[in-house]
Copies of this chain bind each other. A is one copy, B any other.
Amino acid sequence: MMEHAQEALFRPVRAGNAFEETVERLMQAIRLGVVAPGERLPSERDLATRLGVSRVTVREAIRSLQENDYVESRRGRYGGTFVNEVIPKPAPGKEFGDIHDALTLRKVLETGAAEAAAGRSLGPAERRGLRARLEEASTASVGEYRRKDSRLHLAIAEATGSAALTAAVADSRMRVNELLDTIPLLEPNLAHSNAQHERIITSILDGDPASARQAMAEHLDGTASLLRGFLV
């Protein structure tokens, strides 16, 4: 009993070395669609400052992304590092240590975010942003769906106004996406998913927290049972 709490508190202070964590972050930005294909990453110097890491480390991380064709770099003014169109799947050799863990945290965070977002008075810019992400997700092709979907869910987290919550959702989503990437994405699921998104966003924009939570819960339960089914 006591021991479990100690496990949580005495977990490793570092998830990996600076290089690995930097790669992880850049991957997140790309996989979650925060920087879309064709768009430019912040400059190396900028990234180094923001990530609290030396430029050398940022460059090593970017190099590793280049070698896997995630990005391309161009020199000169108005150059930079650009996200490629085709995103190769990483090797699937994943260990599904604790699906329950990942799904539990996701449900808590995202239903909570939906409720909190609905309970806030959103500005016009935020409302427009949410509708835009919804539209993007609903018109996305199968290939770009996961990315657009993540952008929408991230936008909901952002709408809570809590940076820490947004960061937590991003991490959680990354973890669950790694699992989702190993199972097929089917058209019917996609249509169903879009309908649910519609309900969630409507509830949030209407300022109905209970309904937003409920809609998000149903949405997440869908993919959760899909996952559990495929990964028995």
A8–B100 CB distance below 8 A: no
Q: Is the CB of A167 within 8 A of B8?
A: yes
Q: Which of the segments A27-35, A141-149, A186-194, A198-206 contacts the partner chain?
A: A27-35
A137 at the B interface (CB under 8 A): no
Contacting A29 at CB < 8 Å: which of B6, B100, B166? B6
Nearest Cβ on chain B to A156's Cβ, whole angstroms: 11
- Known A1-B129, A13-B21, A116-B107; contact A102-B8, beta-carbon cutoff 8 A: no
How many A residues, CB 8 Å from partner?
61
Verify if A163 is at the interface (C-beta below 8 Å from B). Answer: yes
A232 CB–B CB distance under 8 Å: no
A-B contact pairs, 9 of them (CB 8 A): A1-B155, A5-B158, A8-B167, A9-B25, A10-B51, A104-B160, A105-B165, A108-B112, A108-B113
